[in-house]
Amino acid sequence: MRFKTFSYRPFLILLVALFWALEGHSQHDTQRNAMIALAKGDEKEFAKAFLNPKVDAGEAESLFVGMLKLLAEDEVDDAMKVARTALEKGVPASRFFAGPQNLTAKLREDPQFDELPGIAEVGVIIHGPMVGDVTHNSAKIWARTKGPEILYLLVKKDGQDPVHTGKPVTFSEESDFTGVFQIDGLEPDTEYRCIPTRKNNLLIGDSDTAVFRTRAKPGDSSPFKVAFGGGAGFVPEWEYMWDTIGGFEPDAMLMLGDNVYIDQPEFLQTHYYCYSRRQSRPEWRRFIREVPVYSIYDDHDFGDNDCVPGPQIEKPAWKRKVWNTFRQNWANPGYGGGDAQPGCWYDFVIGDVQFFMLDGRYYRDLKGGSMLGPVQKKWLLEALAKSDAIFKVIVSPVPFTPNIKPGSRDPWDGYPEEREEIFTHLETDRIDGVFLVCADRHRTDLRKTERPNGYTLYEFESSRLTNKHVHSVVQTDGLVWGYNEKCSFGLMEFDTTTEDPQVRFRAIDIDGEEHGDFLLKASQLRHP
């Protein structure tokens, strides 16, 4: 379906008027909804999106989406005018080199494009670099370039000359110009600086440096901090959350789903749009250059609200495409069972703590009573039994705690038999040191579940990183504390060097203030 063409100036006036008229109350913003309509080719839905009083991502974002609509109609001259205004209103220039590429490429092909403000200053790398999958002797660095490139990575340790590490990475249209550098042969507990270059050490920009510290050797005791959260709707005035989290200097960041709100699995244009607007933000770019990021998805960035896609790999047909797009935008240790068994589950170790990241969507099957699917569940149970970590952290996109979302089958309440199977496994195999971390509910809280045949299971939940939409603190039997007044994140401070290893749970708001504190000791997580 083709949209009817329209002139630039009345359209711009309409957008500006709508910007000032809208009042937000949900994380599903007008610009994202308009992008979904644009991808579907539905003009009525496009217009309705801007009239619907949802969260407004701002005048600049409205202009950017309006520009995309003009490009979809091949109205390049008018789109160029809107692009200029969008840049003047604060849209990062890097956005015009990113997705959806089938539309933004039309703008870049026009001779006027290079004359737009800020375009000439955009460097080779437009998104990232992002640090991920740091171990005691390796790391990954993700990036997106503004066009086809073959890049190398200079890795530098203080006091030493930089050296090339690993193979060059090709950035191409096929991968949406993303790529991941694999760095091996590093020393434990050592800081490194990584600089992408072209061949022959040709530098491409000082701002593209990533900095990280390798982990202690597996099994070694050490103090470290891990931040986490979900519910990262795009609200520009709250993007300073990433600077706030970075100020606490965590050793890792767990992004636990609804990392971007897409809600349209069949049209990848919307995925490209939602990822690129977050990745272009300067606050996000500062954060991911220094804090290793680990991610899983949930309903809003995999399918749509509370989606239950079923147990099959290739049905619905959009599953694998969404999974591939997810892989293009992160630098995780793994992605389920790879191409043969897609997913986002994996585990990783920091010192003597092991994290088990779960995929709660790809194989979710209400009729079959399984959230994980047989392959992932087998992996989880076996990996827990084999682990010799002091703390074993099961990380889920949705809460385990009963009655946390009354009447809903979307949390683990919808899969009580599988939940009980996991908990019973901990008891029959006498697996010590387990606690639970999750997201989904738009607040930060700590709860506990008493077990008749085992130790108490604590669950630390946080999922309002940047969302405007808020959930009330539900009063379950095991509620320890909860906080929902501002955007917030969870912070776990581990110290396994003490006689009784411990982890401190803290709820921190977007302005850095603490609203919850709890100390959990390893001795509390042992079978009698």
pLDDT of 49-65, one tens digit each? 887 766 788 899 999 99
| Pure H helices in 52-146 | 59-72, 76-88, 101-108
| Residue 294 confidence (pLDDT) above 70 | yes
Kindly report the number of other CB atoms within 10 A of residue 367's CB atom. 8
Which of 43-52, 91-100, 171-180 bottoms out in mean pLDDT, i.e. has the lowest? 43-52
pLDDT-based confidence at residue 5 (cuts at 50, 70, 90) = very low
Where is 357: in which H helix or E strand?
strand 353-357
| Residue 3 confidence (pLDDT) above 50 | no
Q: What percent of the chain shows pLDDT beyond 70? A: 94
User: Residue for token digits 């006689």?
Assistant: 499
Residue type, 313: I
Cα 60 from Cα 63, distance rounded (Å): 5
Q: With H, G, I as helix, E, B as strand and everything else as coil, classify residue 338.
A: helix
pLDDT top residue among 50 and 140: 140
Q: What is the pTM of this model?
A: 0.95
Longest dimension (CA), the chain: 74
Mean pLDDT of the chain: 93
Which of 23-32, 189-198, 405-414 bottoms out in mean pLDDT, i.e. has the lowest? 23-32
Cα 339 from Cα 10, distance rounded (Å): 48
Name every residue whose Cβ is closer than 8 Å to that of residue 420 and which is 6 or more positions away in sequence: none
Q: Which two tokens stand for residue 461?
A: 């939940």
Q: Which two tokens stand for residue 97?
A: 């080199």
Closest CA to 93 of 219, 246, 280, 244: 280
Q: How do 434-438 and 391-396 pair as beta strands?
A: parallel
pLDDT-based confidence at residue 326 (cuts at 50, 70, 90) = very high
| Residue 188 confidence (pLDDT) above 60 | yes
DSSP state of 173: G
Name every residue whose Cβ is closer than 8 Å to that of residue 153 and which is 6 or more positions away in sequence: 141, 164, 165, 166, 169, 181, 183, 194, 195, 196, 197
Average pLDDT on 504-514 reads 98
Average pLDDT on 502-522 reads 98
Q: How big is the chain, counted in residues?
A: 528
Name every residue whose Cβ is closer than 8 Å to that of residue 116 and which is 6 or more positions away in sequence: 80, 83, 84, 87, 93, 96
Average pLDDT on 17-34 reads 62
Residue type, 408: S
| pLDDT of 19 | 44
| Residue 460 confidence (pLDDT) above 60 | yes
Cα 37 from Cα 31, distance rounded (Å): 10
Residue type, 69: K
| pLDDT of 17 | 42
pLDDT-based confidence at residue 200 (cuts at 50, 70, 90) = confident
Q: With H, G, I as helix, E, B as strand and everything else as coil, classify residue 295.
A: strand
No. of helices (H) and no. of strands (E), the chain: 13, 22
| Residue 24 confidence (pLDDT) above 60 | no
Q: How do 457-462 and 434-438 pair as beta strands?
A: parallel
Closest CA to 414 of 360, 469, 463: 360
pLDDT of 413-459, one tens digit each? 999 999 999 999 999 999 999 999 999 999 999 999 999 999 999 99
pLDDT-based confidence at residue 162 (cuts at 50, 70, 90) = confident
pLDDT-based confidence at residue 206 (cuts at 50, 70, 90) = low
